[in-house]
């Protein structure tokens, strides 16, 4: 049984068809279970240990793909509880755990981020992510469970607009006939993970026993791309006017007075005002995987957006 905590999210929605195509038994876990043909749907709150344990019982692999509201108050209160509950439930049941993580714990990095990059968070959210990642790593080192961390950069793809800033600011704006936007500098190189690649990689990792006990960066194109280039390629596919408007930090501060998620983005400006380079060489070599190019990924995302009428 492959169990997904965080059903209905961007990554979960891409992983589900891969699991079904591979004829795996699938259990989807979320706070409000939604019936989907061919899978078991379970309602559970990961901050409740009893519910978490019941949702994990019988699982061979658990994918922790949960996303919490972008609010540091919620992250501080809930992430440590969720990680503790999931770890303990996996230890009790013998399920293997794959934790889908981001790069906030690295902080500002001079050069390429790799699996060996030290944790040096420079944001409040980065401190939370470092703490829960270290908690899991300590359990792995102690031999208490089989688990791994699968990490990705900012992401995009045919996944909706709620959790992808490039989708929201570039592709959705172009769909609406507006000018593309970008957070911070539009001229700094910025790695972006194509979510369908990340989902394929999660399943590959789940089926390779020796992959457990390690941290993996999920496949991401190694070519350099800037926000301006991303917007230019998207505009070309969608036959929209070229150009991008950068959103400076002071504007986020102003808008953040009335919009909590945008206020929360302010401390992450360091990711946009300097090079943000994410290496997945370890995964690519281990699995013979070639990440989707930005050209192809942007094209597929734009075609999806136009066809879905978003």
The answer, yes or no, to whether residue 310 has pLDDT greater than 70, is no
- For the chain, the C-alpha Rg in angstroms (whole number) is 19
Alpha helix stretches (DSSP H) within 116-220:
124-141, 165-166, 173-175, 195-206
Condensed to tens digits (0 to 9), the pLDDT of residues 210-244 reads: 999 999 999 999 999 998 999 899 988 988 888 88
Enter the DSSP assignment of 151.
Answer: E
> 43-50 — which CB contacts under 8 Å span 24+ positions?
46/5, 46/81, 46/82, 46/85, 46/86, 47/78, 47/81, 47/82, 47/85, 48/85, 49/85, 49/88, 49/89
Condensed to tens digits (0 to 9), the pLDDT of residues 135-184 reads: 999 999 999 999 999 999 998 998 766 778 888 888 888 888 888 888 88
* Residue ranges of E strands in 35-169: 40-43, 61-64, 96-101, 112-113, 147-151, 155-156
List, in order of start, the domains of the chain with CATH numbers: 2-154+192-217 (3.40.50.720), 158-191+222-308 (3.90.25.10)
The set of residues, in sequence order, having a beta carbon less than 8 Å from that of 141 and lying 6+ positions away, is none
Enter the DSSP assignment of 22.
Answer: T
Buried b (16+ CB within 10 A) or exposed e, 192-215: bbbbbbbbbbbbbbbeeeebbeeb
Indicate the pairing of strand 96-101 with strand 147-151.
Answer: parallel
Average pLDDT (246-272) is 60
Condensed to tens digits (0 to 9), the pLDDT of residues 3-37 reads: 999 887 889 989 999 999 888 889 999 888 777 78
Q: How confident is the model at residue 250 (pLDDT cuts 50, 70, 90)?
A: very low
Given CA atoms 184, 284, 118, 105 in this order, what sign does their dihedral have?
A: positive
pTM of the model: 0.90
């Amino acid at each position: 049984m492959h169990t997904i905590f965080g059903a209905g999210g961007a990554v979960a929605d891409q992983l589900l068809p891969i699991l079904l195509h591979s004829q795996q038994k699938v259990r989807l876990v979320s706070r409000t279970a939604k019936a989907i043909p061919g899978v078991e749907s379970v309602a559970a709150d990961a901050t409740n240990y009893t519910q978490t344990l019941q949702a994990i019982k019988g699982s061979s692999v658990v994918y922790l793909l949960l996303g919490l509201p972008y609010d540091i108050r919620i992250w501080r209160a809930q992430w440590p509880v969720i990680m503790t509950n999931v770890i303990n439930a996996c230890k009790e049941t013998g399920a293997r755990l794959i934790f889908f993580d981001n790069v906030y714990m690295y902080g500002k990095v001079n050069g390429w981020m790799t699996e060996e990059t030290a944790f040096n968070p420079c944001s409040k959210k980065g401190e939370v992510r470092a703490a829960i990642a270290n908690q899991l790593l300590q359990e792995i080192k102690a031999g208490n469970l089989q688990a791994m961390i699968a990490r990705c950069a900012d992401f995009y793809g045919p996944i909706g607009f709620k959790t992808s800033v490039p989708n929201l600011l570039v592709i959705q704006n172009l769909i609406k006939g507006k000018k593309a936007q970008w957070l911070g500098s539009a001229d700094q190189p910025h790695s972006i993970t194509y979510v369908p690649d990340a989902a394929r990689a999660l399943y590959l990792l789940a089926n390779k026993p020796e992959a457990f006990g390690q941290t993996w960066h999920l496949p991401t194109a190694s070519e350099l791309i800037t926000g301006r280039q991303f917007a230019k390629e998207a505009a070309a596919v969608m036959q929209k006017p070229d150009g991008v408007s950068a959103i400076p930090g002071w504007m986020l501060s102003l808008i953040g007075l009335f919009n909590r998620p945008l206020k929360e983005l302010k401390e992450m400006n360091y990711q946009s005002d300097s090079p943000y380079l994410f290496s997945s060489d370890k995964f690519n070599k281990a699995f013979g995987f070639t990440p989707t190019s930005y050209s192809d990924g942007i094209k597929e995302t734009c075609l999806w957006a136009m066809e879905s009428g978003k």
